[in-house]
Structure 1
């Protein structure tokens, strides 16, 4: 093979690779658009009247996750299954956002932490790497940490809406979350930096609870009462 033939062959490989990346980018753009739509729906819970609409907003978000499943099913077909991590950077950010949105919906519905398995089910993807397109554990953890920031905002807006028990429940949840992350030996630099932000979320919520306490508004919710 001559030098010219060799580089022509390489160019063919590069062109094919670029075509794959372009196909992936198109699907990722659709995923990002749907993620923005879900976020727009859920952002309304921060409004004073939004707490009454939580069930309907979560139901609407669940409907939009069906569109997410369709796009992810399409994304799986754009590259060889064994090359997941070769192209991972293309969808890493949007998958973390979708993990956050899944976690936020589940928290609003049940005030519990969503499992990685449940997030994968909501998105219609796998958990085990060997089974194909999956939710990487670091992407799941990043999504949970994004949710923590959203909950710190929700705690502040709860007070504005006159809901004085919700910040206490959020505080308990975030403190448990912080304790859980302290058990992890995080080596991933971006994830570690995001976890450092959890400390500020904890502090922000504690300030809200403290302010409620000194005003005599902080009361532990009764067992079995409405959330």
Structure 2
């Protein structure tokens, strides 16, 4: 067998592998496009929280229905992506998943006023919560970025709640975000993107503190809160 034939055979195999990878990436892109479109619908649905308190419950129900459709899309991703290649293709769904972590966390907070645990968010998406070297799962960093986006959205909600005459919501938001801020400070963040996003949290905290302070000096805090501060 000539050397030229050997080289041609080797590079033909390379081309075959490249073609197969490109086909898989196209499949992944198409799935992510559909799933990402659902996240945009959910974002639109949940914008009602900023201007109509009465419709929040219905918005959460609609979001839950859309999460189920998104879960089906993640199921397709799990089938398409080889178990050993999660991190090879992660960039296709990373930002989309961060948005879903934010939207799911926001929905659960609106429903129950609590933090959505990592495994709960993963369950809603229908994927594993276990950080594995192999297999499709919810990356912890994506979950944490989603929580930081949640803080930004809640700081905005604190301002808009006052505009609607709801003076209790900013206090609820303040307590929740302060607890999250304390939790994040326990972490030794080395990821550049996550670290930069965390650095922005201080501005969200400051905005919420200003809202609560303004309510305090205007005498608009709920009576129970005023009594606590006076004590």
- Shorter chain as denominator, the TM-score bin is over 0.9
> Residue 59 of structure 1 aligns with which residue?
61
Deviation at 1:52, TM superposition (A): 1.2
In the alignment, the residues of structure 1 paired with residue 187 and residue 34 of structure 2 have an alpha-carbon distance, to the nearest angstrom, of 34
1:18 corresponds to which of 22, 26, 34 = 22
Q: Deviations over 1:173-224 (max 9, x none)?
A: 11111000000000111000000111000001111111111111022668xx
Q: Which moved more, 1:126-135 or 1:139-148?
A: 126-135
- Under a length normalisation based on structure 2, what TM-score does the superposition of the two structures give? 0.92
Where do 5+ consecutive residues of structure 1 fail to align? 223-227
Residue pairs, 1:64-213, within 5 angstroms:
64-130=66-132, 132-213=135-216
Q: Larger Rg: 1 or 2?
A: 2
- Under a length normalisation based on structure 1, what TM-score does the superposition of the two structures give? 0.94
Deviation at 1:129, TM superposition (A): 3.5
RMSD: 1.3
SS of 2:85's equivalent in the other structure is helix
SS of 2:81's equivalent in the other structure is coil
> Residue 35 of structure 1 aligns with which residue?
39
Q: Deviations over 1:83-113 (max 9, x none)?
A: 1111111100000000100000000011111
Q: Deviations over 1:46-85 (max 9, x none)?
A: 11xx211111110110011110011110111112111111
In the alignment, the residues of structure 1 paired with residue 82 and residue 223 of structure 2 have an alpha-carbon distance, to the nearest angstrom, of 53
User: Size of the alignment, in residue pairs?
Assistant: 220
After TM superposition, where is structure 1 displaced by more than 3 Å over at least 4 residues in a row?
Answer: none
